[in-house]
Amino acid sequence: MAQSVLLTGAAGRVGQAVLGDLADEHEWRLMDRDPPTDDHPGEFVVGDVTDEKTVREAMEGIDVVIHLAGDPRPEAPWDSVLTNNIDGTQTVLEAAANAGVEKVAFASSNHAVGAYETEDRTPEMYQPHDDYLLDGTELPRPGNLYGVSKAAGESLGRYYHDEHGLSVVCVRIGNLTQGHPPIDYERGQAMWLSYRDCAHLFDRCIRAEYDYEIVYGISDNDRKYYSIDRAREVLGYEPRDNSAHHDDDPSA
């Protein structure tokens, strides 16, 4: 059954991966601060997620929110991540709760746990023989202020689930690239997420039933230091791609 989905940050890389495979699967309302430059499914709302009135209006009649909007730069300064990522996420969650939205999928990031990659673990943790694994039960450990903002978004999701009953899934997205994964970059291969696996994962966030979850968004790579078991169990995520087999689908 098609769901009515609000996709914030629709013009970004993750948004384009999602829409590339799912444009005809759901009833979309897209939101971005810049107007569209090409064809798009559904309605397009030009606005910023820090604008409470625009977000409230965009939320009307929506079943599920995929919240991608924010400053995506790992080196983003505090004033930007505070405004765009933390305040913006709170604005979206508050509007979703007030509008009776059922589910919110929040785009978290590998940067929320980046500081687990310590000198005594790397580069071995990026290689197939190493058994170090993060599974989503560990505490956040950001490696930059962008990661701090994503950890804050996860905590906001937990609050809005507990206080307002929103179903919230936080997806710690790995290394999303279109086409081949980085061949000579072990870390990038270990956390690689193909475009079609990204679309499939967020489709499962739309369709599955859950309470509050933190899952990792990577493909089924031979070496992964993020577990995708929880995404499989709770969401029904079944990735098709593997960075070790990248020649199988060069367009993935």
- For the annotated catalytic residues, the residue numbers are 146
The amino acid that residue 216 corresponds to is Y
Longest dimension (CA), the chain: 51
Please give the sequence-ordered ranges of beta strands (E in DSSP) within 93-191, or none if there are none.
Answer: 103-109, 167-173, 175-176
DSSP 2-71: --EEEEETTTSHHHHHHHHHHTTTSEEEEEESS--SS--SSEEEE--TT-HHHHHHHTTT-SEEEE--S-
Instruction: Point out which residues pair with 212 in neighbouring strands.
Output: 168
CA 90 to chain CA centroid, Å, is 16
For the chain, the distance separating the N- and C-terminal CA atoms, rounded to the nearest angstrom, is 26
Residues 154 and 109 sit within 8 Å (Cβ to Cβ)? no
In DSSP terms, which residues pair with 173 in a beta bridge?
Answer: 109, 217
What span, in angstroms and rounded, lies between the C-alpha atoms of 143 and 117? 9
Q: Are 105 and 64 in contact (CB under 8 A)?
A: yes
